[in-house]
Amino acid sequence: MGEIKELAEKGKSLMNDGKFDDALGFFEQALLLNQNDPDLWNHKGTALRSLGRYEESVICFNKSLEIEPRDKFAS
C-alpha cells in the first residue's frame, strides 16, 4: 500500500506544479496497483480535465462514483 500512496502523493505534487501530464502518469501507475480506489480515479479525472481531455475525465469520475456512490470528493 505504501507504493500506491507514494505514487499518488507524487502525482498530487506534480498537479500542484501544473505538470498535469506527468501527474497523470503517476495516477495511472497507482491505478495499475489498485483499481478500486475512488480517490485515485478522482485524481486521474482531475488531471485529464486539466489537460482538456473532458470525455476521459468524466469516465474516471463516474468510475469513482461506481466504487463509492457517496464520494463527496467526486468532481
The per-residue pLDDT for 1 is 59
Residue 75 in domain:
no
Structural domain for 8, as ranges: 2-67
- Provide the domain count of the chain: 1
Q: Read off the CATH number of the domain in which 60 is found.
A: 1.25.40.10
Residue 70: what pLDDT? Answer: 74
Q: Residues 24-68: pLDDT tens digits?
A: 999 999 999 999 999 999 999 999 999 999 999 999 999 999 998
In a domain, 44, yes or no: yes
Whether residue 13 is contained in a domain is answered as yes
Write down the pTM of the prediction: 0.90
> How would residue 72 be classed by pLDDT, with cut points 50, 70 and 90?
low
DSSP 7-52: HHHHHHHHHHTT-HHHHHHHHHHHHHH-TT-HHHHHHHHHHHHHTT
